[in-house]
A = this chain, B = another copy of it.
Amino acid sequence: MEIERPYLLFLGDVPDALAAKTGLGIVDWRRDWCIGQFRLPGCKADAGLAEMAPAEAAAKGARTMIVGAVNAGGVLPDHWADSIVAALDAGMDVASGLHTRLGDHPAIRAAAERNGRQLHDVRHSTMRFATGKGTKREGKRLLTVGTDCSIGKKYTALALERAMREAGFDADFRATGQTGVFISGRGVAIDAVVADFISGAVEWLAPAAAPDHWDLVEGQGSLFHPSFAGVSLGLLHGAQPDAFVVCHEPTRRTMRGVAHPLPTIAEVIELTIACGRLTNPAIRCVGLAINTAALGDGEAQALLAETGAAHGLPAVDPIRTGVAPLVERIAEEFGRPESRR
């Protein structure tokens, strides 16, 4: 799925910022791709962009309106449909992360056909993939894995992309979830792929590349999550990572949506290596990304130092401390970019 940019962000009339977290995430990482925001009366989310209706945004060059908010239930309210039709009539494509398919709405489908525009439903995979082959590809790959879902895997991969590029690496974020697809303009919501093609989809997503190129693959779920571990394992095999980072949240007691406790970081490292060596025998852990938002600064720093020492790995909080120690570890283990040698 390739989404044309720049974007107009549609935030609807959602009651809070959480309901617009997709749109806000896009602005966090790709502000320069966003021409403006389109909000309906009563909208309580604000991405801090110029307010703009579809016709104006299109005139300024916007190519795609992103539905960057969800209402309760993930369905498509009729008054949002009118806004989407307006975007299509203004000549833009529309991309959505809603559960409802855009094309299932007759007025939206008709408007897309009438204007010859694309509808992108990132939660629904219409692409056909081959089954994974597990053959070693050229280029380097890093996967973010976790002790749970929703624990910072996307954020860590994006922070690594930014920091590695600043350090001179040739590095690309590779999206496997809907917000990530909007942020990279390309990718696949891996949890929406038919089960037989999980690893094959990731082989497509992070293809063979130059030996010094790094793909930074957004992880999903956890090998220890009873709902989603199959997705995580197919993703691990397809990504065949040279390196992985374990993401963790130290105050969380049970995994999301289930009664199971979180695994330990050591358990995640051990099982990721045990399974990952199938497609990359040299797989290794290069660091820990720990969300310390619930802790005070002193406590957080102590926890990072202690956890890093216990595992012999750099431990960072991507938000509080940045990811420089992870980039340094990658440079030490895999070599610095040519320009900085």
Contacts and interface: CB of A to CB of B under 8 A. Distances in A.
A271 B272 CA distance: 12
Most-contacted residue by chain B among A193, A226, A234, A274 (CB, 10 A):
A226
Interface residues of A, number: 37
A231 B229 CA distance: 9
Given A194-B194, A199-B227, A231-B234, 7 more contacts: A192-B194, A194-B195, A199-B228, A199-B230, A200-B227, A226-B279, A229-B233
Interface string A301-316: 0000000000000000
Interface of A: 131-135, 190-196, 198-200, 223-224, 226-235, 237, 257-260, 271, 274-275, 278-279
Nearest to A125: B194
A226 B190 contact: no
Contacts of A232: 230
B227 A132 contact: yes
Contacts of A200: 227
A229 B234 contact: yes
Contact of A234 (B195, B260, B271): B195
B195 A226 contact: no
B198 A230 contact: yes
Nearest to A226: B134
A259 B278 CA distance: 11
A223 B274 CA distance: 11
Nearest to A196: B191
Contacts of A135: 258-259
Nearest to A198: B230
A226 B133 contact: yes
